[in-house]
């Protein structure tokens, strides 16, 4: 028989969301997703975090330099979230203020996404794992230079016990049951999954 396994499952009461370095300059380096897909995925993750009322922490690296400012859509979606503009730490987890903000959420499940995957995502993901957190990386809201780099970064993180998700899987795992709010989840999917919206459009047309 198979070895024992515990399903470490996302819970909206125990998860926090960390959005790392989704800055205008850095995003222009991303080439493992088309720009349109990547923007959609990042906003879908952000909208999901807001929908599930997850404590969310924003952080940037050198936002007054070439890396550029945080993309304004994210800033606007989380006006009251802790916002740590790191003065120099490449790994957000090396920044005390950031770690304190994480600890203050009281959550043990950390959902992380950012740019670029092998640095801004992988470094705090590995640090958080070392600190005992359950870590879930949203792969499709994290971008980097090319597929080779992404694949290597994923392997490093998965080996460390990080769970690799996409934003849709994350949202579904957090929601658990459509009956908790059919309209809300439907609206979220309709906004960020064009073909799901098409299904709804066709469905409503027939009623």
Active site residues: 120
User: 195, exposed or middle or buried, with CB in 10 Å at 0-12, 13-18, 19+?
Assistant: exposed
Minimal CA–CA distance to 40: which of 151, 170, 184, 168? 168
CB of 159 to a copy of itself, least distance (A): 6
**Residue corresponding to tokens 């198979």:** 2
Please state, in angstroms and rounded to a whole number, the distance separating the CA atoms of residues 172 and 187.
Answer: 13
44: tokens are 């879908």
Minimal CA–CA distance to 109: which of 59, 161, 46? 161
Secondary structure of 100-133 as H, E, C letters: HHHHHHCCCEEEEEEECHHHHHHHHHHHHHHCCC
CB of 49 to a copy of itself, least distance (A): 18
| Cβ-based nearer residue to a copy of itself, 62 or 82 | 62
Tell me the C-alpha to C-alpha distance, in Å, between residue 26 and each of 19, 63, 144, 154, 176: 13, 10, 9, 19, 34
CB of 42 to a copy of itself, least distance (A): 9
CB of 80 to a copy of itself, least distance (A): 22
| Cβ-based nearer residue to a copy of itself, 80 or 177 | 177
| Cβ-based nearer residue to a copy of itself, 69 or 106 | 69
CB of 98 to a copy of itself, least distance (A): 13
Minimal CA–CA distance to 193: which of 12, 37, 7, 26? 37
Please state, in angstroms and rounded to a whole number, the distance separating the CA atoms of residues 43 and 30.
Answer: 16
| Cβ-based nearer residue to a copy of itself, 77 or 200 | 200
| Cβ-based nearer residue to a copy of itself, 81 or 185 | 185
């Amino acid at each position: 028989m198979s070895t024992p396994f515990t399903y470490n499952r996302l819970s909206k009461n125990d998860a926090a969301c960390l959005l790392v370095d989704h800055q205008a300059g850095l995003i222009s380096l991303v080439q493992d997703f088309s720009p349109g897909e990547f923007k959609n995925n990042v906003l879908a993750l952000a909208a999901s975090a807001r929908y599930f009322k997850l404590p969310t922490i924003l952080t940037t690296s050198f936002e007054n330099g070439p890396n550029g400012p945080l993309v304004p859509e994210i800033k606007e979606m989380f006006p009251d979230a802790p916002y740590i503009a790191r003065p120099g730490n490449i790994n957000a987890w090396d920044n005390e203020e950031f770690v304190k903000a994480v600890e203050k959420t009281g959550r043990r499940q950390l959902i992380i996404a950012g740019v670029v995957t092998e640095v801004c995502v992988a470094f705090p993901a590995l640090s958080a794992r070392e600190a005992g957190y359950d870590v879930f990386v949203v792969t499709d809201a994290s971008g980097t230079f090319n597929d080779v780099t992404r694949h290597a970064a994923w392997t490093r993180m998965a080996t460390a016990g990080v769970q690799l998700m996409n934003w849709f899987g994350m949202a579904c795992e957090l929601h658990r049951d459509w009956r908790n709010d059919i309209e809300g989840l439907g609206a979220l999917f309709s906004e960020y999954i064009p073909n799901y919206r098409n299904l709804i459009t066709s469905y409503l047309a027939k009623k």
